[in-house]
Structure 1
Amino acid sequence: MIKAKIHSIQNHDNINWVEFFAQKHKLYMLALELDEKASINQEVVLAFKSSECLLSKINLANTFLNTLHAKIIDIFQGQIITVIRLESEICTFETQISTFEFLEQAYQKNDFVFAYIHPSALFIKEYVC
């Protein structure tokens, strides 16, 4: 989970583009519905499904994806799915990838990777009072 503050909200035809600041990082959320509590400077807790995170050893330099540079701190390898726990500057989180991808990319504990989260995968889990 990521603690962040809402920086801006754009709305058109009930589609919302929300920009957040989490420490020095900008994050973006694309949402069809937005709670009426959402407002500029509102503090929130953001989350995403662990299966909706793409890993790469190289920086894809795509400004439309949320990018976290993170260190692999633990690996739980299964026959089909591997769960990788990562630690970034702003949060600790897990991602699920296929074990085939895990073996193909040869990820190891203490490797640094780029984690990419599509804006439509990010959601507001909680509003901080």
Structure 2
Amino acid sequence: MFKATVLNIKTHQNLFEIQLSSELGELYMLSLELDEYIQNGKEVMLGFKSSDLILSTGHPDISTRNCFLAKVQSVEKGELISVINLKANDFKFDTMISSNLVPKIKDELYVILGETSLYISEIL
């Protein structure tokens, strides 16, 4: 979990697009529900499922807004799946990838986080 500030909220046909500022940079979240207490300027705690991350060695040329650089801190290599510990600014997090794709420690990777993968875990 990490702290973020709500910058802007757009809504259309029961779909909410929330623009947030965080230590990972500017992020966007899509949601079908939004607590009435979440407003511009409000601080929240964000989370995501570690299995929802996509890693890239080069800047991805795809239609996504949630992309940031992270450095590989450690690797727990498994037979089929490996756990990669990453750090972006001061935020540490893990993701799982196929063991035949394991990066090296200190590699810098682009992390892509889908807008529907983010969720608000707490309103501060």
Contact 1:2 1:90 in 2 (8 A): no
Gaps (5+ residues) in structure 2?
none
TM-score, with normalisation over the residues of structure 1?
Answer: 0.89
Counterpart CA distance in 2 for 1:18 and 1:125 is 14
- The share of aligned pairs that are identical, in percent, is 32
Matched positions, count = 124
Please, which runs of 5 or more residues in structure 1 have no aligned partner?
none
**1:109–1:61 distance in 2 versus 1, CA, 3 Å:** same
- Paired residues of 2:44 and 2:121 also in contact (CA < 8 A): yes
Separation in structure 2 between the aligned mates of residue 27 and residue 82 of structure 1, nearest angstrom: 26
Matches within 5 A, 1:1-129: 1-23=1-23, 25-62=25-62, 64-89=64-89, 91-102=91-102, 107-128=103-124
On the 8 A contact 2:2/2:45 being kept in 1, the answer is yes
Task: Deviation per CA, 1:60-87: give whole Å up to 9, x if none.
Answer: 1446331120100011111121111100
Counterpart AA for 1:46: L
Secondary structure of the equivalent of 2:115?
Answer: coil
In the aligned structure 1, how far is the partner of 2:65 from the partner of 2:41? 22
Q: 1:22 to 1:61 in 2, by over 3 A?
A: farther
For 2:59, what is the secondary structure of its paired residue?
coil
Change (3 A) 1:63 1:98: same
The TM-score normalised by the length of structure 2 is 0.92
Give structure 1 regions of 4+ aligned residues with deviation exceeding 3 angstroms: none
Aligned Cα root-mean-square deviation (Å): 1.5
Distance in 1 between residues matched to 2:99 and 2:108, nearest whole Å: 18
